Amino acid sequence: MRYSALSLLGNAFSKNKNWKPAWRNPDPKPHYDVIIVGGGGHGLATAYYLSKVYGVRNVAVLEKGYLGSGNIGRNTTIIRSNYLLEGNNPFYEFSMKLWEGLEQDFNFNAMVSQRGVINLFHSDAQRDAYTRRGNAMRLHGVDAELLNRDQLREKLPFLDYENARFPIMGGLMQARGGTVRHDAVAWGFARGADQNGVDIIQNCEVTGIDRDGDQITGVQTTRGAIKCNKLAMAVAGSSSHVAKMIDMRLPIESHALQAFVSEGLKPFVDTVVTFGAGHFYVSQSDKGGLVFGGDIEGYNSYAQRGNLANVEHVAEAGMAMIPALSRVRILRSWGGIMDMSMDGSPIMDRTHLSNLYFNGGWCYGGFKATPASGYCFAHLLATDTPHETATAFRMDRFARGYLLDEKGVGAQANLH
Amino acid sequence: MSSLVKCPHCGLRPKEEFTVRGEVATPRPDAGAEEAVWFDHVYLRDNPRGEHREYWHHSGGCRRWLVLTRNTLTHETSEVVDASTLKTGGAA
């Protein structure tokens, strides 16, 4: 059923008794053309675009838990395309354009809110770096605006402008950035893919990968063996764990990242704001809770939870940026596992096995990339060539020396 | 993981005193080693779900490099030794 004002009205008159589940809950078939491992945002988006744009419909998405149980439901819901590097910027802008039309496209309310993303700067050097970034964005046709202190004061009066150590001098704004309701992204893609005939199989963990020479023949799962022509990995967070099943080592470490939400407050923070002097970013949900986060924990982890030391650190950074937060109570915190790659950029490529495709290494920037990641991965799966916006995300770029290191910190995963 | 790390020199210390370097990888190759060997050393990781040996630096304490054996799923640390023992094979 297509959701519309009319369907809402019709169901209201029938006392909401006739709503159907948004997607089926099928048993796995013995064989699929494409199996996508990982029913997170990227896996579901891949299935959606694969079935919709590329006409590949005999597809299964295998999810070890329930839909939305991984990073798609654990992030801070921010979307933006304010990237500096040539290889990254067009891809993230492609993603932003997909976000802008997503709800109409998959007929689901994902609450896409382009409320603006502002990155603060605190020194001349940082201003110059942001100017360069803003210019790079504009050269790629992305909107960017450098705000001085007075312009910023009008938008964000509550910041600590006179901070003795890190006075706020201005900010780089991308007005088209914003937030999206992350669960609805998973649900919208799942529903859209399901309507196109994709089997979404939950509680189905891949436990082994069957191969014959350099060909993948299928997977072993907790719900039996399933054969496939092509196998697509979209398991960021657990990429190394799954890759180990075929003795593949990756330029990736898994790290935990925490996020937090405060008690509900009256409208206070209108945009997404990021602190330039520390790692802290905050926005306010429609319910009123401040949604914020900071750095990864710094040690390898698959535990989906963090450490108290980082809770304290994030709270301190938040306080340094917005002193008014001092009396706000944190309601909940949670953790997700990030695929931290060795240059801070994702990997989307074919592999040394002829019908195995890899999508991962999203570090802690995977959410904003969800639609474009799905689109480009679907393109790769269907055509065996990278999408024009994703040509830099090659697996062999580390060996060739063509790193995509936005921060320039080198092969130290916990610093990206 | 608990918020405390048992440094062999300083005893139980808060985690904030430490800087994490990461996986104890393959030994540093010779300068003249082949590119593939260097690539493996610099970029590739085992990144296991479970037991993991990793370098931690007690940067806010004795400033010794330590090797932790830590479970990445439960965050339990089973062993902490001074990194120099990797070469000598003896106790710190």
ipTM of the complex: 0.92
Token pair, residue A14, equals: 């029938």
Q: What proportion of chain A, given as a percentage, has pLDDT over 90?
A: 97
Whether the pLDDT of residue A269 is over 60: the answer is yes
Residue of A nearest to B16 (CA): A309
Whether the pLDDT of residue A176 is over 80: the answer is yes
Exposure letters A37-48 (e unless 16+ CB within 10 A, then b): bbbbbbbbbbbb
- Contact between chains at B43 and A301 (C-beta distance less than 8 A): no
Of residues B3, B20, B47, nearest to A414 (C-beta): B20
Of residues B39, B54, B73, nearest to A302 (C-beta): B73
Residue of A nearest to B46 (CA): A249
Interface A–B counts its CB contacts (< 8 A) at: 77
Confidence (pLDDT) at B2: 60
Confidence (pLDDT) at B88: 61
From the CA of B88, how many Å to the nearest CA of chain A? 26
Give the separation between CA A82 and CA A365, rounded to whole angstroms: 12
Let me know: does A20 contact A216? Beta carbons within 8 Å. Answer: no
Tell me the pLDDT tens digit for each residue of A349-397.
999 999 999 999 999 999 999 999 999 999 999 999 999 999 999 999 9
- Contact between chains at B43 and A398 (C-beta distance less than 8 A): yes
Select the more confidently predicted residue: A179 or B86.
A179
Class of domain B1-24+49-92: alpha beta
Tell me the pLDDT tens digit for each residue of A115-173.
999 999 999 999 999 999 999 999 999 999 999 999 999 999 999 999 999 999 999 99
Of residues B21, B42, B72, nearest to A301 (C-beta): B72
Confidence (pLDDT) at A1: 81
Domain boundaries, chain B: 1-24+49-92
Provide CB contacts within 8 A for A284, sequence distance 6+. Answer: A265, A267, A268, A269, A270, A290, A291
Confidence (pLDDT) at A336: 96
pLDDT band at residue B91 under the 50/70/90 scheme: very low
Let me know: does A366 contact A72? Beta carbons within 8 Å. Answer: no
Confidence (pLDDT) at B86: 80
B77–A contact, CB cutoff 8 A:
no
Give the separation between CA A295 and CA A311, rounded to whole angstroms: 10
Provide CB contacts within 8 A for A88, sequence distance 6+. Answer: A345, A392, A404, A406
Within 8 A of A251 by CB-CB distance, chain B residues are 43-45
Is pTM, for the whole model, over 0.90?
yes
Instruction: State the average pLDDT over residues A10-39.
Output: 96
How many beta carbons lie within 10 A of that of residue A195, not counting itself?
18
pLDDT band at residue B92 under the 50/70/90 scheme: very low
Give the separation between CA A260 and CA A312, rounded to whole angstroms: 12
